[in-house]
Structure 1
Amino acid sequence: MSRIVSALPLLALAACSPAETEADLGTEVPVSEETFGSSTSGLTTENGGSLNGGSLNGGSLNGGSLNGGSLNGNDLSGFLIHVDYAGAAINGDSSLDWVRIEGTQFQAKQGDVLHTGTAFLGAWFYGTLGDGRRAKLRIADMRAAEAPNGDLTEYWVEYRDDDNVWHPLCRDSTGAAVWAYPVKGVYDYRRGVPTGGQHSDDPDHFTFACAGGAVQKCINLGYRPWASRDGVSLAAHHQACTRLIRADYCGDGTPHTQNGNRVNLYDKLGIQTDTERWFFEASWDAQGARCFSPLNRSHAGIPCYNSRLDLFCGLGLSPEQEEGILLRNETPTAGLTP
């Protein structure tokens, strides 16, 4: 299989109020231990330019943002940087021993009780914006993701504004509210810096990956960062995929793509296979494009292009050349048409 996706800009949502105290989380209510069922299926999705978004299958359409979840404008000051495990509350009760994510399901320990699945309906969390303000979030609904990702759980997440009104956290490029996956760790949403676009493990924080962004799209493409294939962790493949989907060639968080650009991507593990006869462009690792083919000029204007040109890029002529390569991509044209 190979996939096609469209790019999505960072989307504006409303700003949230400062952090509340734990007393604001309500009174203790009995909790349930219901769990979601799971099924095994194949994986398809579109890619896009945001780190958090959604896609279908076929030749992907590249897009340019990391996360579709900004809370008031396009600058990072109103952007939801991460969500805290600490302070989470189930049915208004925040006396949890710990909260964690397994795949796309939340789990929480409270004494002898393990909360998971639908026990998290109505759960509250706190997130942090780029300017340091705190945002209050809640899980308003949850469901199994659409086939072929039916073993994953997606969440309808809302945030509370200054007037105590709840709004959808995630929106797509048309402004329509969309669902999200919870993903362990955090991302650097900056552009043009060495760590831009990079995922970091963080035991205290997680990310809500909104449908339409690269984080969610790459999960649906089969690069689940918590999983493995043939004994190989897919965490680095997921990172490489988010770079590729956003055309973050130089690995500094800067996208070099436009809405509607199509790309065919594939890997050696067989998660995505080469189904097109297009023009080879680049080989990828977790830091961006490892090398470019000089026969494809689709992105010849980007800063790192000339320094990474390699006549033998993608040919796999030696083990040394193949070492560390995670993904490859093709474009429908070679960028040579005036």
Structure 2
Amino acid sequence: MNVRNLVLFTILGMGMGAGCDDVGAVDAADADLGAVLPRPGSGASGGVWLNTSTIGTTAFSELDLSGQVHAGAQFTGAQLLRPGNVWLDITNGSVKDGTLEAKVGSKVYKGADLIGSRWQLTLFNADTDGDGDHDADDEAAVPVEIWITAVQQISTKEARYVFETYDADDNVVPVCSPDASGATTMVPIKDLAVDEVTGKMTKRSNTLYLACTSGAIGKAVTWGYRPWERTLEEFEVATRMIRADYCFTGHSFTQTGTSMQVKDRYNINTFLHTGDPNEAVWGRTGVRCINTPRSSTYSAPQVQCNGQTLPACPSDVSLTTYSDALFWTKVDAG
């Protein structure tokens, strides 16, 4: 299929307010939390990826849907498959809450209608001109195509999508690495840009972030911390908590197979085993205290942020101990 004319996507606005879901007690342990994956991803410092989305050997998470080169990629077009093997150019699209929508003329398509849709991109793999970015001035521009093969509707506001593409040997492969359940799904997030080194999140207009459920950002959504219900600050802290990023610098203090529990201020998740050792309490701008690091490689005094040892948690610590506490985590004692 030839690349069509540039498609301009306009992302619908959405509110960001605190909310909660009636999920009940959830053990937030995942066997792959600390997995070091065999293919590239983003934010790999310390072992837990921010995202696991790749095309070939190129990490890929963000698209500027107005067609600007951004984060080493440029979006160049998309088509929708309709009955009778008819292809229609998508003329406009949007992210609304956690779902994708596509418009052809005045008609809006979403959900299962997007299965088979094909998206054309150009990837810029190397900063060959040395200016610190990956754009059209760099060499090795590679045209690629990804397509949606499945849509899982979680609710009226949330869906998960499976994107596939070709690898270097022309094999069809998922864009996302599998999560703990084996799913290669991703969640669309509106106007999100993430520093792959530090994990810092910023709002960026006309940007679509495709978050694999096997990475920390997608996992934060599946654990209930949906960015369309949280502030950006709160969502970022959720991803740092998942990665054991105690210093809020992007470094993840965890290892393969490490599980944990989380209790939060939103009444989404809570402890199943209250007697397990306290790990940490997570505030809006940093870890407020730490007792038992998630990885047995470290002791609490070895976790230093800006050269300073973090305070120990008091024996009666709780989410009310610190006024800005968002999460309280425990190490799974097995």
- TM class by smaller structure: 0.5 to 0.7
The one-letter amino acid paired with 1:89 is Q
**Residues 1:162 and 1:243: Cα distance change in structure 2 (over 3 Å):** same
CA contact (8 A) 2:98 2:157 kept: no
RMSD: 3.9
Superposed, which structure 2 residues align to 1:215-294 within 5 Å?
A: 215-227=217-229, 233=230, 235-275=232-272, 276-293=274-291
Q: Say whether residues 1:171 and 2:177 are aligned partners.
A: yes
Give the aligned residue type for 2:4. Answer: E
1:42 counterpart residue number: 23
Deviation at residue 286 of structure 1 after TM alignment: 4.8
Rounded to whole Å, the distance in 2 between the matches of 1:302 and 1:198 is 20
Deviations 1:64-101 (A, max 9, x none): 1111123345xxxx21141343433323444513x221
Higher mean displacement: 279-288 or 245-254: 279-288
- What letter is aligned with 1:80? F
1:96 pairs with 2:123? no
Report what 1:83 is aligned to: 63
* Structure 1 residue 49, shift from structure 2 partner: 4.5
Secondary structure of the 2:240 match is helix
Counterparts in 2 of 1:295 and 1:24: CA distance versus 1, 3 Å: closer
8 Å CA contact retained: 1:51, 1:209: no
| Counterpart in the other structure of 2:53 | 69
Q: Does 1:144 align with 2:153?
A: yes
Find out whether 1:153 has 2:163 as its counterpart. no
Q: Which runs of 4+ in 1 moved over 6 A?
A: 294-297, 316-319
User: Are residue 304 (structure 1) and residue 305 (structure 2) matched?
Assistant: yes
Q: Structure 2 CA distance, aligned partners of 1:286 and 1:325?
A: 7
> CA 1:95 to 1:105, structure 2 compared with 1: closer, same or farther past 3 Å?
closer
Please give the residue correspondences for 1:98-137 in structure 2 after superposition, counting only pairs within 5 Å.
99-127=93-121, 128=123, 131=126, 132=134, 133=141, 135-137=144-146
Using the alignment, how far apart are the partners of 2:224 and 2:194 within structure 1?
A: 19
Query: Per-residue CA shift, 1:260-291, capped at 9, x if unaligned?
Result: 22222111221112332122222213544233
**Higher strand proportion (structure 1 or 2):** 2
Letter of the 1:280 partner, please give it.
N
Gap change, CA 1:206 and 1:219, over 3 Å in 2: same
- Which residue identity does 1:42 align to in structure 2? V
Partner of 2:195: 188
User: For the residues of structure 1 that align with 2:257 and 2:264, how far apart are their CA atoms?
Assistant: 22
Between 217-226 and 279-288, report the one with greater CA deviation: 279-288
How far apart are the structure 1 equivalents of 2:164 and 2:292? Answer: 46
User: In structure 2, the residue corresponding to 1:119 is in which secondary structure?
Assistant: helix
Q: 3-state DSSP class of the match of 2:217?
A: helix
Matches of 2:292 and 2:168 in 1, distance apart? Answer: 53
Distance 1:317 1:325, change over 3 A: closer
Alpha-carbon distance, 1:210 to partner: 1.8
Aligned partner of residue 181 in structure 1, secondary structure: strand
Change (3 A) 1:314 1:218: farther
Residue 118 of structure 1: how far off its partner (Å): 2.1
The residue number in structure 2 matching 1:230 is none
Distance 1:204 1:124 in 2: 19
Q: Please name the residue that 1:22 is paired with.
A: 4
Q: Per the alignment, in what secondary structure is the counterpart of residue 241 of structure 1?
A: helix
Say if 1:209 and 1:216, in contact at 8 Å, map to a contact too.
yes
Aligned counterparts of 1:107 and 1:325: Cα–Cα separation in 2? 36
Per the alignment, in what secondary structure is the counterpart of residue 308 of structure 2?
Answer: helix
- Distance change in 2, residues 1:268/1:95 (3 Å): closer
- Deviation digits for residues 205-245 of structure 1 (CA, Å, limit 9, x no counterpart): 22222232212222121111112xxxxx3543332221111
Letter in 2 for 1:96: T
1:24 is displaced (CA, Å) by: 10
| 1:303 to 1:130, Cα distance in 2 relative to 1, 3 A | farther
State the shift of 1:249 in Å: 1.1
After superposition, the Cα gap between the structure-2 partners of 1:126 and 1:204, relative to the gap in structure 1 and judged at 3 Å, is: farther
Shift of 1:315: 5.4
Unaligned 5+ runs, structure 1: 1-19, 26-39, 53-61, 191-195, 228-232, 334-338
Q: How far apart are 1:51 and its partner, in Å? A: 12
Query: Which SS does the other structure have where 1:201 is aligned?
Result: strand
